[in-house]
Amino acid sequence: MSEPAFRRILLKLSGEALMGGRGFGVDPAVASRIASEVSEIQQMSVQVAVVVGGGNFIRGVAASQNGIDRVVADNMGMLATIINALALQDALEKAGSPTRVMTALEIREIAEPFIRRRAIRHLEKGRTVLLAAGTGNPYFSTDTAAALRAMEIKADVILKATKVDGVYDADPAKVADAKKISKINYLDVLSRGLAVMDTTAISLCMDNRLPIIVFNLTVPGNLKRVVMGEKVGSLVAA
C-alpha cells in the first residue's frame, strides 16, 4: 500500500457533524462511524488532532443575537465543544484508539489543559488528541482555533470536514448550478467571501502557508482517501 500523503493532520469537525439526522445533540452511531475512520488512518501511522465545534448544542453568535451577552454565549459554546470532545473520545476508545482530550479552559477532573509540547508528545505516542474549548477566548470561532492549533502542533494540513464535497462558488443547497472549485488560493476565498472558514482562520493559514482541504465526511472512506493523497474535495493553498 502506498504511503500516506500527510504525517500529521488536524481534522476540523463541526458540532453538526456529530448530530447526524437529529436536530440536537450527539448521535452515537455517527460518532462511532467517524471514530472508526479516524482509527483507521491512525493505524497507518498518521498523527491525528481533532478540533470539534459545538453548534449541535449552541452557537455563541446565534445565542448573543437572541439576547444573551456575547461573552457568556461564547463561553457556553466552548463548554459545548468539550461535551462533543468527550463523546468522540468515548467512541474512539471503543474503536481501539488511545486518546487525550485537551482543553483551552481548565477542567482538570475530565481533561488535560492544552500545553503545546504535551499535545505534540501525545501525537508522537500515537494518541488522537481532541482539542476542545476553542482558543479559550470569546469572539474567536472554532475555525480560528483549528488554524491556531494546527500551526502550534506543526500539522501538515487542516482537513475541514463538511456535508458537501468541496468549495463551491455559491451555496449548492440554494443555487442549483453552483460550480465546485477544485483548487483556490487564500486571497480568492477572502475576496469572494466563500464559506470555507472564517476570515481570521483563512488569514492565519495564508500567513503561514498552511493548506486546507475541504471534503465531505458523510461519504464513507473519504477521510482515508484524502490522507492517502487522492484528489477528494477542494484544496485551499498559496
pLDDT tens digits, 28-37: 999 999 999 9
**Contact yes or no for 197/147 (Cβ under 8 A):** yes
Residue reference for cell 477542494:
234
1 pLDDT band, cuts 50/70/90, is: low
**Contact yes or no for 51/84 (Cβ under 8 A):** no
CA dihedral 201, 204, 207, 211 (to 10 degrees): -60
Report DSSP state, residue 43.
T
Set of cell numbers at residue 46 = 498518521
CA-based nearest residue to 205, from 149, 165, 130: 149
**pLDDT (average), residues 11-28:** 89
Q: Please work out, in degrees rounded to the nearest 5, the angle formed at the alpha carbon of residue 67 by the alpha carbons of 61 and 71.
A: 50
Is 3.30.910.20 the CATH number for 8-237? no
DSSP symbols for 48-102: EEEEE--TTT--HHHHHHTTS-HHHHHHHHHHHHHHHHHHHHHHHHHTT--EEEE
**Contact yes or no for 201/207 (Cβ under 8 A):** no
Please tell me the pTM assigned to this model: 0.92
pLDDT tens digits, 148-204: 999 999 999 999 999 888 999 888 878 888 899 999 999 999 999 888 899 999 999
